[in-house]
Structure 1
């Protein structure tokens, strides 16, 4: 069998960041990325990329200007609360909006340029051995990183259950002309009907926008109801190519196990429960997984096909768990608490009124929903003062 230092299952943002991270920390390591699809390929997503996600990729040696080239940076965000409070402000730094077919393809190409090899393959079976992980009886890895999305084969192979219905959201997404007056503005709008739920419209350039609607799976919404929700919150929108996808929210994230198999991104249920954002979590957890793989046993001695496996990466899982807790632990507690409190529309109304009144509160709300922000006393006090 072929022997590799690291095998990454999934070529999306989490998988590409993991491959880049391994090669950043251990140049010369043999890294194989497996994906069941040919690239470029589409993914159901809002296409929004927070500047903090680009910061992570810059730290991995990626030219992020090239990564988002051809698509506008979007400096402003407009939010509408369930009770009708609307706030529009400039964000602390502009976000990017790049279709996933473009973004994922460019990021994977960067991983290949750094030394990773890409192969189309559908993973079906994993077996943990003394030396690492065996994949489908065809190849071995000292460390395997599962970055294969919400329906992760790697997670299931570890015997780990997926999220329960109240920890899952479902989103419907398509493309349509920008809303009138939307140039340079990301729009997120909510309603007290079927709450918690929201619709979005994010401009991708050339007068087009990514538009969608999402709500909790536990609401048991049909496709027709999701489409109706989109049209209710974004009247007049005429989307094309509507597709749906489940989102495993971080409030139901499984515990990263010990051993040589690591999880990242949606496979680890890392989706912001307030906003459904997942790109920042994906690249951050992927980068940490690559670091943990190197610290946990990868020595950069593999050579692809015909290589000889050495010591397995048995310490990688514990290392990854510690890195995740250190980097995201406090934020995940805060985002989970904010998600729980947001079940009451009046609380959201108060928070949005506070954000309309104070730029600092607005920035903190955005940072909590799109990156790794935390609840602060200032934001909480401001929201409470504006409760009705």
Structure 2
């Protein structure tokens, strides 16, 4: 039945990584990379690319992807009167998805994937393969089609906790140049924060996001107002405003077994304390592609999901448990404030928390000691310098 060994639904970072993982494992595979959009195309996102993402891509032969971009070596965290401004161990990049995703698609094409423009509406699993829209047959399918995944819906899987965010691009004020700035809200269910991430070209990715509690959510006008309140001047000259949902991960993540694998946002994998999703997308994409290739090589494509679940959970499960605990802790404002105080006093606590938020770090003993000590202190902190341009 299968015209393709592997069909990947969605050509964002998760989908492109799945194609790269499969073709790195077995270069002769027939891999179709499907997306409703042509590339380059925009995608609502904070655009932050952690160095650990590039580490994972190097494992499948993709290097030098962002050598022409400007690295960002500082991270500033603000909440009320508390301000933490530190250098990070390894710089990140702020790359519009229009650029980053197109480069990954080209890397997958160069590795041997066939890129097809196709909007997926229906996925049906049979005994001898998977059929997409009565047009495309594959032995294994990877669902990488985002937060509103058609593939996930076809499996009958529910969605969990979500966040809502709004993103735009605006000129970078002098006080925020060369820095990724995150300003946490007060009196809100956490995480809720505004950001300004310098792209290095005179513009910043700016936005605001918060966890949704119950049906509905804030309007675009309300999101813009909350962004401006936390980062005065951030919306000035802003364009390309786009809203998007983020399916937040939990400690009990279990991917389904079988011929259909879910990765990235489609798998409900977005860091619940930071909203970061690109590391999860690339990591699970690579693991899924490798698992599919191994199952196909063994002549057991129906076992692809089992192998993927085993390998993905081995890579992410301890981390997911720790982010789930951390997300529950920071719902209480005092714990978030304690984290900022501990980060201000200890570079290693800061570094460990960054790793937890951007890649697959854990709540280390040093972090827990720092939080405990900070909770016992009553230091009110200091007033940060103004974040708006003077």
**Alignment TM-score, normalising by the size of structure 2:** 0.92
Whether the 8 Å contact between 2:259 and 2:304 is mirrored in structure 1 is yes
The worse-fitting range, judged by mean Cα deviation, of 127-136 and 362-371 is 127-136
2:151 aligns to what? Answer: 154
Whether the 8 Å contact between 1:172 and 1:243 is mirrored in structure 2 is yes
Q: Secondary structure at the match of 2:72?
A: strand
1:271 aligns to what? Answer: 270
Q: Secondary structure at the match of 1:274?
A: coil
Q: Deviations over 1:12-52 (max 9, x none)?
A: 00000000000000011110001011111101000000000
Q: What is the deviation of 1:335?
A: 0.4
The worse-fitting range, judged by mean Cα deviation, of 188-197 and 198-207 is 188-197
Match of 2:165 among 171, 183, 186: 171
Alignment of 1:11-90 (within 5 A): 11-63=11-63, 65=64, 67-81=65-79, 83-90=80-87
Aligned residues: 371
Whether the 8 Å contact between 2:2 and 2:129 is mirrored in structure 1 is no
Distance 1:194 1:29, change over 3 A: same
How many Å separate the matches in 1 of 2:189 and 2:124?
Answer: 43
**Alignment TM-score, normalising by the size of structure 1:** 0.93
- What is the aligned-residue RMSD (CA, Å)? 1.5
Unaligned runs of 5+ in 2: 379-390
Q: Secondary structure at the match of 2:140?
A: strand
1:364 to 2:359 alignment: no
Match of 1:339 among 322, 327, 330: 327
1:384 aligns to what? Answer: 372
The worse-fitting range, judged by mean Cα deviation, of 215-224 and 117-126 is 215-224
2:181 aligns to what? Answer: 187
Unaligned runs of 5+ in 1: 300-310
Q: Secondary structure at the match of 2:170?
A: strand
How many Å separate the matches in 1 of 2:2 and 2:126?
Answer: 15
Distance 1:132 1:322, change over 3 A: same
Q: Secondary structure at the match of 2:229?
A: helix
How many Å separate the matches in 1 of 2:346 and 2:172?
Answer: 28
Q: Deviations over 1:47-103 (max 9, x none)?
A: 00000011000111012x2x224421001100113x431111111100011100000
1:259 aligns to what? Answer: 258
Q: What is the deviation of 1:252?
A: 7.9
How many Å separate the matches in 1 of 2:316 and 2:175?
Answer: 36
Q: What is the deviation of 1:347?
A: 0.5
Alignment of 1:198-209 (within 5 A): 198-209=193-204
Whether the 8 Å contact between 2:251 and 2:320 is mirrored in structure 1 is no
Whether the 8 Å contact between 1:131 and 1:312 is mirrored in structure 2 is no
Runs of 4+ in structure 1 over 6 Å off = none
1:92 to 2:86 alignment: no
How many Å separate the matches in 2 of 1:326 and 1:372?
Answer: 12
Q: What is the deviation of 1:297?
A: 2.2
